[in-house]
Amino acid sequence: MGNHFEDALFKDIFAKNKATTGNLIKADAAEIKGLAKISLEEDESDGIRILLKKDAHDNLKEIKFICSCGQTKSIILDYSE
């Protein structure tokens, strides 16, 4: 019962630049970069969903705006110097 209120962590996977066919990513072409927390918020009036992606330490990594028409725009934050 103690873990019911913890944030869910998802594996953040990077696919190496290899020629692929279809939507299949083979295990040797994938690299786990870390863990991510994902939350989704929805604006009722404009039909825009906002997806927030954070790392395991609650640092915001990506903001993705998803329109009901299917278009998306992303802002990726890089904290490295």
pLDDT tens-digit map of 10-44? 887 877 766 656 778 777 888 888 888 888 888 76
Alpha-carbon torsion (55, 58, 61, 63), positive or negative? positive
- How far, in Å, CA of 4 to CA of 62, rounded? 25
pLDDT of residue 1: 47
Which of the four pLDDT bands, split at 50, 70 and 90, describes residue 3? Answer: low
The one-letter code for the residue type at 63 is: I
CB 32 within 8 A of CB 16: no
pLDDT above 90 as % of the chain: 12
Which pair of structure tokens corresponds to residue 80? 């490295």
Residues 63, 33, 61: CA angle, nearest 5 degrees: 20
